Amino acid sequence: MKNNKGCEPGAIGKRGSGILLHVTSLPSRFGIGDLGPGAYRFADFLIRSKQRYWQVLPLTPVDYPHEQSPYNCMSAFAFNKYLISPELMVRNGRLKNADLNAVPRFSQRKVNFAAVIRFKDRIFEKAYERFRSKRGRSDDYVRFCDDNSMWLDDYTLFSALRDGQERRSWIQWPAKIKDRDAKALEFSRETLKRTMEKEKFLQYVFWKQWVALKSYCIDAGISIIGDVPIYVDFNSVDVWSHREIFKLSKDSKPLFVSGVPPDYFSETGQLWGNPVYDWHALKRRGYEWWIRRIEHSLKIFNCARLDHFRGFVAFWQVRSTAKTAKSGKWVKVPVDGFLSILRKRLRGFPIIAEDLGTITPDVREVMGRYDIPGMKVMLFAFGDGGSTNPYLVHNHVRNCVVYTGTHDNNTVRGWFTNEASKAEKQRFFVYLGRRVSAQVVHEEFVRLAMSSVADTTIIPLQDILGLGSSARMNRPASQRDNWQWRLLPGHLKTSVAEWLARTTTTYGRA
């Protein structure tokens, strides 16, 4: 990927603020947010409201509709093709207007992933046939395929094989394909050539649309903060093609899986179920897979948030047969070896650590040693801890990123209405100096976050709009109704942009 516009070091650093909104939540008439007009309108809202940052969740492919979490990716490098904009495909001649005449009546409020897939797969086939009918391939397309062959070839083969195997897990594929026999893979590449090229085409279309959107943002002074999940799904191309860096049995099944111990979100911990890394194997290979992954992410984003950063210092390992995460144990990672090599390879070190949950002193020491900013979540500020609670504004430091909440939290209004205890509300009122109602509590949280000494403040759009629990993005440890929330077209009112611009200016973040 040659387009590195906006990837300068220090995308985080100046005093500024931004908004957290995942692409799937953007308005569009195609059932799911995409990289088209709705994304540009949101970028314009960021400009009007004097924001510096747009934070998104992972853009990697997900096993829709069975799995909806963007943190359970099928590839650490590929893109989610269902975020491609059909309207932009019409504009550049990949589709015709007539191809979009029969768009289903999708809900504007929630993503119906199964319906989106049916519709988009149909129009993608039309676009690919049009692309395939042209003589030759553009230099730009060929260059994209060459530049990304390291991950693109394996991913498109894996995707084609999954389709041919009725989307079964790779562990259930015929033995020679499952175990990557060279002759079997070469035969598969020949027989699945069309399917593979179609997937390469869609990856290319996503990249072109993303580069255009990112350039639009950069030209307006907006940096994009991305999110790098620490783990990949077992049914991913990464595990299939890089088994040596995961803790697997001789028959390629996970020996241990990921999770976290009991915490704020769950009394029994969270059993995520992803295969865990064999960091000794990664060390022997110079951490190359992880370094390539982060370098790749920083070609897509200006700055990357490393999800579950404490897992780079020590991770919670649970036997694959366990029913909950309570029986796991912490396993140390050779973090200094990894981060020292990574810092040498990167221009600057535009990394944010997701350091929420159980954080031990060794994690804090690593973050301090490498000058990596962590996160402060305002919704945690009014629980126990009194005046020493690290999330209270007066305890913040410059080198951190302040959030009212994250995609895993309730909205501020939802928390205030449905979750906050009387004691928490009273602490909030005392800290604020007055009582406030549920109708304006989000405004007070935004002001507190903006007033922080921290260089960077990021506010979920739901909290800027003062939306309730129905707008929550994710409920950890719950498998229902997650990742579906969508922004309604009329939500981004001029009055909201003006209020946010005033607040941003007041606290020196414009």
CATH of the domain at 133: 3.20.20.80
Does residue 162 sit within a domain?
Answer: yes
Partner residues linked to 275 by β-bridges: 257
Does residue 8 sit within a domain?
Answer: no
Residue 315 to residue 328: CA distance in whole angstroms: 10
What is the pTM (predicted TM-score) of this model?
0.95
Residue 202: phi and psi, rounded to 5, are: -70, -35
Give DSSP secondary structure letters for 360-374. -HHHHHHHHHTT--E
Whether pLDDT at 37 is above 60: yes
Q: What is the maximum alpha-carbon separation in the chain?
A: 72
Cα 348 to Cα 295, 342, 372: the distances in Å are 12, 10, 11
The residue ranges of DSSP E strands in 213-347, in sequence order, are 223-228, 256-260, 270-275, 303-306, 314-319, 329-332
CB 404 within 8 A of CB 463: yes
Nearest to 260 by CA among 305, 226, 293, 230: 230
Residue 163: phi and psi, rounded to 5, are: -60, -40
CB 298 within 8 A of CB 346: yes
Does residue 9 sit within a domain?
Answer: no
Number of folded domains in the chain? Answer: 1
Q: At what angle do helices 149-164 and 193-219 cross, to 10 degrees?
A: 130
Each residue's pLDDT tens digit, 166-205:
889 999 999 999 999 999 999 999 999 999 999 999 999 9
Residue-level pLDDT at 175: 97
Confidence of residue 262 (pLDDT cuts 50, 70, 90): confident
Give DSSP secondary structure letters for 92-159. TTSS-GGGGTT-----SSB--HHHHHHHHHHHHHHHHHHHHHSSS--HHHHHHHHHTHHHHHHHHHHH
The catalytic residues are 307, 354, 408
The domain in which residue 348 lies consists of: 16-506
Each residue's pLDDT tens digit, 280-323:
999 999 999 999 999 999 999 999 999 999 999 999 999 999 99
CB 494 within 8 A of CB 55: no
Residue-level pLDDT at 66: 78
Buried b (16+ CB within 10 A) or exposed e, 408-442: bbbbbbbbbeeebeeebbebbeebeeeebeeeebb
Does residue 108 sit within a domain?
Answer: yes
Q: In the numeric block, which tokens belong to residue 172?
A: 């259930």
Residue-level pLDDT at 135: 65
Cα 99 to Cα 95, 108, 211: the distances in Å are 6, 21, 25
Buried b (16+ CB within 10 A) or exposed e, 311-345: bbbbbbbbebeeebbeebeeeebebeebbebbeee
Q: In the numeric block, which tokens belong to residue 167?
A: 């989307």
Cα within 13 Å of Cα(510), Cβ side: 15
The length of the chain, given as a count of residues = 510
Secondary structure of residue 290 in the 3-state scheme: helix
Residue 97 to residue 256: CA distance in whole angstroms: 50
Which amino acid, residue 253?
Answer: K
Residue-level pLDDT at 8: 43
Partner residues linked to 133 by β-bridges: none
Does residue 188 sit within a domain?
Answer: yes
Residue 377: phi and psi, rounded to 5, are: -110, 115
Each residue's pLDDT tens digit, 472-507:
999 986 778 899 999 999 999 999 999 999 999 999
> Across all residues in the chain, what is the average pLDDT?
94
